[in-house]
């Protein structure tokens, strides 16, 4: 008996008994005939309209094109139909129709993904979840809230403004919170507050056959649990391949009494990373610590009209009480100085801090401005902190050798960084060089005990790299899980696996 078969036979007893004999997923084999799908689609459209009304269904070319792409360089792959459910009941009903007609299901949040996760590779039905945009069940005294999938990070924090609470996970884009959970997003605050994986307490999920279940039990929201398998974390990072996330219960945090930001320049990448490691080793509760290489800080200076030295740079932010900030800042500044860092350039008031971090989040546009008329592609990897200087130095040498434009910015406190590749999409030779570079970068990270993606996800572009990263046995387990939960391979087929 194969390893995958053995795992599958022991997965999800009871409700899933009927699915246990499903063969392990083979992503290189179609699970339905094209003709059957086409006929099923014609019959399904009328059934969709019966669920959502005419306004909740579209087969228009422009609408389908809009839903066939995200912010990645992957080509547009439009779905056959777009639907806009307004409730979990409608999501379930629509999923049952798709399941009956063997139509692929592609969840869609705000389309801000970076790895082609919304492309409809096999056609099918895009579930645009933006009409489900309610903030539900705020428990301020328990520091948690439940949201529907159309709620974005900015919308939630606006809703929380008068409660004294906030949700700190900030990937830069104003992404939907369930979309952030689906890709296990993180961002600039992760060094202190964690990623989505640490901040999701419970999920409501609609499976491919329309079944609705809660990963931690209906209404459960404890701060910790040791009860059973961690199904919540199974769906965090699943990229729509296991089910549709229709509610997320999230951890909240108190808004700090005081915040202060600073910028510090260094003579080398090594010096900047050494300072970061020492700050973390001393237990300084740094909230954000971001790295920009010389090319990136130069681009940000030009785009955002700043005047920082063109050298490896750290952007830092401290949260706490006024008294605790004094100690944090003093220790961090002393450590940076010992590594050749410049005096801190301060951003104390909200307006100045906002300008500083807007410049960091505008790094994408700053990179694009280096080559007007070109396109940008962001790739990310993550390595242990001690390996960060080596991989950044080797990566910069690779960029120079291959005459590529790729400013580097990263969440240095996590060992996670991005190359913002700026390229001419009409130059096949440059496109090929970028493709080869991104594969070398990912394999360089794997060779240094890291991962091919720290926060963007696998999507389309990193499926082969995932297999190299986790190995054949782990892939068999993933494929068996997928086959048990989605035996017809309808949930966002062609992604991750």
Residue 188 included in any domain: yes
Radius of gyration of the chain (CA): 23
Tell me what pLDDT residue 179 has.
Answer: 96
Q: How far apart are the C-alpha atoms of 289 and 415, rounded to whole Å?
A: 11
Tell me what pLDDT residue 27 has.
Answer: 42
Same domain, 214 and 230: yes
Tell me what pLDDT residue 3 has.
Answer: 38
Same domain, 232 and 372: no
Residue 153 included in any domain: yes
DSSP 86: -
Residue 316 included in any domain: yes
Residue 434 included in any domain: yes
Same domain, 362 and 443: yes
Of 212, 234, 254, which residue is a domain's last? 254
Of 254, 278, 308, which residue is a domain's last? 254
- Cα dihedral angle (143, 148, 149, 154), rounded to 10 degrees? -50
Q: How far apart are the C-alpha atoms of 497 and 493, rounded to whole Å?
A: 9
Same domain, 301 and 247: no
DSSP 16: G
Q: How far apart are the C-alpha atoms of 465 and 8, rounded to whole Å?
A: 24
Same domain, 336 and 411: yes
For the chain, the domain total comes to: 2
Residue 389 included in any domain: yes
Residue 33 included in any domain: no
Tell me what pLDDT residue 36 has.
Answer: 62
Q: How far apart are the C-alpha atoms of 20 and 10, rounded to whole Å?
A: 8
Where in the sequence is the domain holding 191, given as residue range(s)? 135-254
Q: How far apart are the C-alpha atoms of 479 and 242, rounded to whole Å?
A: 11
Provide the whole-model pTM: 0.88
Tell me what pLDDT residue 39 has.
Answer: 72
Partnered with residue 49 across adjacent β-strands are none
Q: How far apart are the C-alpha atoms of 40 and 101, rounded to whole Å?
A: 5
Same domain, 219 and 368: no
Q: Please report, in tens digits, the pLDDT of each residue of the chain (497 residues total).
A: 443 444 344 443 333 333 333 344 444 445 445 566 667 788 999 999 999 999 999 999 999 999 999 988 888 999 999 999 999 999 999 999 999 999 999 999 999 898 999 999 999 999 999 999 999 999 999 999 999 999 999 999 999 999 999 999 998 889 999 999 999 999 899 999 999 999 999 999 999 999 999 999 999 999 999 999 999 999 999 999 999 999 999 999 999 999 999 999 999 999 999 999 999 999 999 999 999 999 999 999 999 999 999 999 999 999 999 889 989 999 999 999 999 999 999 888 889 898 888 888 899 999 999 999 999 989 999 999 989 999 999 999 999 999 999 999 999 899 999 999 999 999 999 999 999 999 999 999 999 999 999 999 999 989 999 999 999 999 999 999 999 999 999 999 999 99
CATH of the domain at 145: 3.30.465.10
């Amino acid at each position: 008996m194969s390893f995958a078969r053995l795992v599958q036979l022991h997965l999800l007893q009871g409700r899933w008994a009927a699915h246990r004999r499903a063969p392990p997923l083979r992503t290189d084999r179609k699970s339905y005939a094209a003709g059957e799908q086409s006929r099923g689609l014609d019959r399904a459209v009328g059934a969709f309209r019966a669920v959502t009304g005419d306004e909740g269904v579209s087969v228009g070319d422009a609408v389908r094109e809009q839903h066939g792409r995200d912010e990645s360089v992957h080509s547009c792959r439009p779905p056959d139909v777009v639907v806009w459910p307004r409730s979990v009941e409608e999501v379930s009903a629509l999923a049952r129709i798709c399941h009956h007609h063997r139509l692929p299901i592609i969840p869609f949040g705000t389309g801000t993904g970076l790895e082609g996760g919304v492309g409809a590779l096999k056609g099918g039905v895009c579930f645009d979840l933006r009409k489900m945009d309610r903030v539900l069940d705020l428990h301020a005294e328990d520091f948690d809230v439940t949201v529907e999938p159309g709620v974005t990070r900015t919308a939630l924090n606006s809703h929380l403004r008068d409660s004294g609470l906030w949700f700190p996970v900030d990937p830069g884009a104003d992404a939907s919170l369930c979309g952030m959970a689906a890709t296990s997003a993180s961002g600039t605050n992760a060094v202190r507050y964690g990623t989505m994986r640490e901040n999701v307490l419970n999920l409501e999920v609609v499976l491919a056959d329309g079944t609705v279940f809660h990963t931690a039990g209906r209404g459960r929201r404890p701060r910790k649990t040791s009860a059973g398998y961690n199904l919540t974390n199974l769906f965090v990072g699943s990229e729509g391949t296991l089910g549709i996330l229709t509610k997320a219960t999230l951890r909240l945090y108190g808004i700090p009494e005081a915040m202060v930001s600073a910028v510090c320049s260094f003579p080398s990448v090594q010096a900047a990373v050494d300072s970061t490691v020492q700050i973390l080793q001393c237990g300084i509760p740094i909230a954000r610590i971001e790295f920009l290489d010389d090319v990136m800080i130069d681009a940000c200076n030009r785009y955002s009209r700043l005047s920082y030295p063109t050298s490896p740079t750290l952007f830092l932010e401290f949260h706490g009480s006024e008294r605790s900030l004094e100690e944090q800042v003093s220790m961090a500044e002393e450590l940076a100085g010992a590594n050749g860092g410049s005096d801190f350039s301060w951003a104390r008031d909200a307006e100045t801090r906002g300008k500083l971090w807007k410049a960091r989040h505008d790094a994408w546009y700053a990179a694009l401005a280096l080559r007007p008329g070109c396109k940008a592609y962001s790739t990310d990897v993550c390595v242990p902190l001690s390996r960060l200087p080596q991989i950044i130095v080797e990566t910069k040498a690779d960029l120079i050798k291959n005459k590529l434009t790729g400013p580097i910015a990263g969440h240095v406190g996590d060992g996670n960084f991005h190359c913002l590749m700026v390229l001419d999409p009409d130059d096949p030779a440059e496109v090929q060089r970028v493709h080869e570079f991104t594969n070398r970068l990912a394999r360089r990270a794997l060779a240094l005990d890291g991962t091919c993606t720290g926060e963007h996800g696998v999507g389309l572009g990193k499926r082969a790299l995932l297999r190299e990263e986790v190995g054949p046995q782990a892939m068999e387990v993933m494929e068996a899980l997928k086959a048990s939960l989605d035996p017809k391979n309808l949930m966002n087929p062609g992604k991750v696996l």
